[in-house]
Structure 1
């Protein structure tokens, strides 16, 4: 089942069970997917493009979450946390830090990286492997640890 079909089914279910928050998040994701399709001038997004849009939406919310926590906006913090939980249902299973660390070690060996100067080379090799399955900030931190 494609992401769009899943979203449509979940949207119908959210309407029936009167889950307003989930319904709003699903509608927003569908709009983001449609906007991306228009931007790319395609009728249907690839699974990779869908994953990119979902990851972007989660990242935007996590960034906003940090800002709202700093500003003491607890009302918005709770709302964003709930939205993130809903969005993460549609992302692939996230890698653990141990699994990610193993991928980083393998990739460093593959590209023969030896210092922090090779950071860009390692990151460009890793990110396609872990797309949607790991936070870029965590990947960056692990690469720095292993290269130092």
Structure 2
């Protein structure tokens, strides 16, 4: 069992003991999603799988939060934002924008990327290095901006 999955399961127990209903709800959703990946996809849950699952859940909540804010529902948007904060605790330390831009420059230099048609080359080079450490949507936007 992965270290992250073990941590999630231990945190579920701790949240139950402490009576932290909101935190427990988020952790149970995460635990359920991991169990689904294990059973339905028939894969072993590694730290990489946990990270990818958490990233997916964070992305879903960011989308929901922006829709709730657009729909003038700050109460629901704030709930989604709080869940994002809880989930982010299971991701590696996030890269700063300067670090991401430096990696993009390095990727462009090493792949010879010079125009918009080379976005795939840059993404292919950089994606394994930043998995779980940055928002992939923002990364894609930064790459597009750099390549013109």
Tell me the TM-score normalized by structure 2.
Answer: 0.94
How many Å separate the matches in 2 of 1:78 and 1:114?
Answer: 41
**Which residue matches 2:39?**
38
Q: How many matched pairs? A: 147
Shifted more, 138-147 versus 128-137: the winner is: 138-147
Question: Would you identify which runs of 4 or more consecutive aligned residues in structure 1 move more than 4 Å?
Answer: none
Q: CA RMSD in A?
A: 1.2
How many Å separate the matches in 2 of 1:66 and 1:38?
Answer: 32
**Which residue matches 2:93?**
93
How many Å separate the matches in 1 of 2:45 and 2:13?
Answer: 22
**Which residue matches 2:79?**
79
**Which residue matches 1:134?**
134
What SS does structure 2 have at the residue aligned with 1:72? coil
How many Å separate the matches in 1 of 2:58 and 2:108?
Answer: 28
Structure 2 residue runs without a partner (length 5+): none
**Which residue matches 1:18?**
19
